[in-house]
């Protein structure tokens, strides 16, 4: 590992971020040594996609890391992340909310979650449709149904395209939906403040549309092998 190159890339990414935007360093497939090296440069928020990989890495790394789970989570893997995750970004079904709430309660935690919204044109991306979330929020406060979860905002992935206007349009829609849901009475508007959007390829567009959390892997660690 080239520590000088890592420090340079990290500084370049941080320089792009306005104050208050949380940088989640996406460390999937990276070694414990690489994560530790970035930690030593001051980074504390890390994102992982694979439950077992996160479960195995977490005990080998400093306890004050805030671990973000950003991948697609299956119900039977919730047990690997619920005991210590700081925030679960990709929550895309009521069934998964049920499982997260159950596991959080069983370990005596309040677990922060972001609801993932399908904003891309691609079929492959996960997430609730905007109207599904509107319907969910029209029934009752989410907290009543899932008391061990704290609803912190929305997460979305834009279409993987060179069309920057398209990407901005999708992020804009996500930002508007967050505002709408925050005002709906179904969530605590003081907690429902986060917009997790933006990765290496669409960081600028996400920041321009009001992202509060960016999930960056490649621009910090280099190409994944
Ligand atoms: C891998 C991944 C990222 C980071 O992607 P880069 O292009 O390496 O910055 C962000 N979010 C999610 C959900 C990912 O799976």
Q: What is the mean pLDDT of residues 160-178?
A: 97
Closest residue to atom 7 of ligand 1, CA basis: 200
Could you identify the atom of ligand 1 that is nearest to the CA of residue 215? Answer: 10
CA distance 85 to 65: 10
Q: Residue 133, class by beta-carbon neighbours within 10 Å (0-12 exposed, 13-18 middle, 19+ buried)?
A: buried
Whether the pLDDT of residue 125 is over 80: the answer is no
Q: Provide the pLDDT for residue 202.
A: 97
Ligand 1 site, residue 200, Cβ cutoff 6 A: yes
Whether the pLDDT of residue 1 is over 90: the answer is no
Q: Provide the pLDDT for residue 122.
A: 80
Ligand 1 site, residue 155, Cβ cutoff 6 A: no
Ligand 1 site, residue 213, Cβ cutoff 6 A: no
- The answer to whether 209 and 168 are in contact (CB under 8 A) is yes
Half-sphere exposure of 202 (CA within 13 A, CB side): 27
Q: Provide the pLDDT for residue 146.
A: 98
Q: What is the mean pLDDT of residues 124-149?
A: 94
Could you identify the atom of ligand 1 that is nearest to the CA of residue 224? Answer: 8
pTM confidence score = 0.97
- CA 52 and chain centroid, separation: 17
Segment 51-90, tens digit of pLDDT = 999 999 999 999 999 999 999 999 999 999 999 999 999 9
Mean pLDDT score of the chain: 96
CA distance 202 to 192: 23
Whether the pLDDT of residue 124 is over 80: the answer is no
Ligand 1 site, residue 182, Cβ cutoff 6 A: no
Could you identify the atom of ligand 1 that is nearest to the CA of residue 70? Answer: 13
Ligand 1 site, residue 222, Cβ cutoff 6 A: no
Whether the pLDDT of residue 150 is over 90: the answer is yes
Residue 181 carries which DSSP code?
Answer: H
């Amino acid at each position: 590992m080239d520590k000088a190159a890592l420090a340079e890339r990290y500084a370049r990414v941080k320089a792009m971020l306005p104050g208050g935007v949380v940088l989640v360093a996406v460390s999937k497939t990276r070694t414990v040594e690489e994560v530790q090296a970035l930690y030593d440069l001051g980074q504390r928020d890390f994102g992982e996609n694979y439950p077992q990989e996160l479960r195995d890495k977490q005990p080998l790394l400093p306890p004050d890391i805030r671990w973000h789970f950003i991948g697609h989570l299956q119900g039977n893997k919730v047990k690997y992340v619920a005991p210590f995750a700081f925030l679960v970004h990709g929550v895309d079904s009521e069934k998964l909310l049920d499982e997260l709430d159950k596991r959080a309660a069983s370990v005596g935690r309040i677990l922060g979650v972001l609801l993932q919204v399908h904003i891309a044109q691609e079929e492959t991306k996960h997430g609730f449709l905007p109207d599904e979330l509107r319907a969910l929020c029209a029934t009752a406060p989410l907290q009543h149904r899932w008391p061990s979860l704290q609803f912190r905002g929305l997460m979305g992935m834009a279409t993987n395209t060179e069309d920057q206007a398209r990407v901005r349009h999708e992020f804009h829609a996500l930002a508007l939906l967050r505002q709408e849901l925050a005002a709906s009475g179904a969530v605590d508007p003081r907690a429902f403040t986060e917009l997790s959007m933006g990765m290496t390829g669409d960081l600028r567009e996400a920041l321009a549309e009001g992202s509060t959390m960016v999930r960056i892997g490649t621009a910090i660690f280099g190409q994944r092998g």
